[in-house]
Structure 1
Amino acid sequence: MTRILFVDDHPIYREGLRRALEARIAGLEVVVASGAAEARAKLAADAAIALCLADYRLIDGDGFELISGLRHAHPTVAVGLLCGEPTQALAAQVRDIGGVACLPKELDTDDLAEAVESLLGGDEAFPSPVAGAGGTLMSERRRDILTFASKGWPDKLIGEELGITESTVRNHWHHIFRRLGVNNRTEAVTKALRQKII
């Protein structure tokens, strides 16, 4: 059982997200906290938590300060922020403290589940430089795959370069196609270039 901690002060959103993620990701348990103090206590009591995602605004503090502190107190726990509009400046701050994600709260549950699975697999999820209003959130690993594909690299070579298997690259392609609303690599690369994702 993989555990993640989700910190948000809105009980309906928090509980809805917990149920949705647990329904979509096999073997996932979502532990919830309403604020920074409760999150710290839950992490101190549960060494099995692998990832903490916190809302930027909390009832008893700032989500960025929380994940920054957690990063130092629990260095093996991956941390990230959920916020209304993740800016490049905020994403850079999260990266600077060793965070792995800066995600928009308006992500639908399928996209958030996909992001959580990527994060648990060691990936990162930050907005591309032009994501935001109408932009497409794409993980660092998937941007790398698109970049190598734009140079004509086959999946096997991309996998060798990234230290992953060819089948993992193909799995990433499935998610890339869905995220971009395309059917093949050429369409994906073309759309990624047009949207300045790569």
Structure 2
Amino acid sequence: MTVKVLITEDHELYRDGLRLLLQEVFPEVQIIEAGDFPAAMATLASHQNIALVLFDIHIPGTSGLNGLKEMKARYPALPLVVVSTVDHQVSIQQMLQLGADGFIAKTSSKATIVKALKNIMEGEVVIIGGQDNAGPAVLSPRQIATLELLALGLPNKEIATQLNISPTTVREYVSDLLKLFGCDNRTQAVLKARQLGFILD
């Protein structure tokens, strides 16, 4: 039986590598390729029977996790596995929360990816990260929102306005974030948050 797979990846070399791997694992596979997000969405609109999407979140036409969010909102039942260099545990958790059905780090070995693809096509959720960066366990949605506004360089007063909370509460959030990340100032906290995958540019 022919299996139709969409590879959404802007780097031609890695796209070729994934295609060869898929053809090795599934001889009957039919592969469709998209080099940017608009092309991926157009492909999904014109092909109703795609069995799997291999999706790199860092592709032209979208930013952060917006592409993943939009694709899963429009096609919630579509099996989608993120294949990316963004392999922080925090980021992977966010991807799964947005509906991703699995994750494969681009740094994984060929044998690991082959095994993962087989398991995925059998319906398993596969998570293969290249790092073990647990970082701070959990941040609340408000703390993450505060972090994102800090990353934009906004002062406490502006953050308070954006989040509709008091400047005092913002100060408390910032203080808590500095403690969580073990940092002395806002700039360090933003850098650490980026390293751990809490902020995806």
Structure 2 Cα separation of the partners of residues 27 and 108 of structure 1: 23
CA contact (8 A) 2:25 2:118 kept: no
Structure 2 Cα separation of the partners of residues 114 and 63 of structure 1: 28
Structure 2 Cα separation of the partners of residues 125 and 119 of structure 1: 6
Structure with higher strand content = 1
Letter in 2 for 1:108: S
Structure 1 Cα separation of the partners of residues 37 and 68 of structure 2: 9
1:87-141 Cα shifts (integer Å, max 9, x gaps): 111111111122111211122333222212211211111247xx616xxxxxxxx
Letter in 1 for 2:76: P
Q: Report the equivalent of 1:96.
A: 97
Letter in 1 for 2:3: T
TM-score (norm 1): 0.60
Q: Report the equivalent of 1:76.
A: 77
Q: Report the equivalent of 1:23.
A: 24
Structure 1 Cα separation of the partners of residues 104 and 28 of structure 2: 22
With over 3 angstroms needed to count, the CA separation of the structure-2 counterparts of 1:37 and 1:63, relative to structure 1, is farther
- Secondary structure of the 1:38 match is helix
CA contact (8 A) 1:36 1:63 kept: no
Structure (1 or 2) with the larger CA radius of gyration: 2
CA contact (8 A) 2:76 2:99 kept: no
When structure 1 is superposed on structure 2, of 100-109 and 29-38 the one drifting more is 100-109
TM-score (norm 2): 0.59
- Secondary structure of the 2:83 match is strand
* Alpha-carbon distance, 1:80 to partner: 2.3
Can you give the 5+ residue segments of structure 1 that lack an aligned partner in the other structure? Answer: 134-198
Counting only pairs closer than 5 Å after superposition, residues 24-173 of structure 1 correspond to structure 2 as: 24-62=25-63, 64-127=65-128, 132=131
With over 3 angstroms needed to count, the CA separation of the structure-2 counterparts of 1:118 and 1:82, relative to structure 1, is same
CA contact (8 A) 1:21 1:109 kept: no
CA contact (8 A) 1:54 1:63 kept: no
Counting only pairs closer than 5 Å after superposition, residues 178-197 of structure 1 correspond to structure 2 as: none
> Alignment RMSD, CA only?
1.9
Structure 2 Cα separation of the partners of residues 127 and 45 of structure 1: 31
Which structure carries more relative contact order (alpha carbon 8 Å, separation 6+)?
2
Percent of matched pairs sharing the same residue: 21
- Secondary structure of the 2:65 match is helix
Structure 1 Cα separation of the partners of residues 109 and 128 of structure 2: 15
Structure 2 Cα separation of the partners of residues 61 and 51 of structure 1: 20
* Alpha-carbon distance, 1:85 to partner: 4.0
- Secondary structure of the 1:57 match is coil
Letter in 1 for 2:84: C
With over 3 angstroms needed to count, the CA separation of the structure-2 counterparts of 1:58 and 1:32, relative to structure 1, is same
CA contact (8 A) 1:2 1:50 kept: yes
* Alpha-carbon distance, 1:36 to partner: 0.4
Q: How many corresponding residue pairs?
A: 131
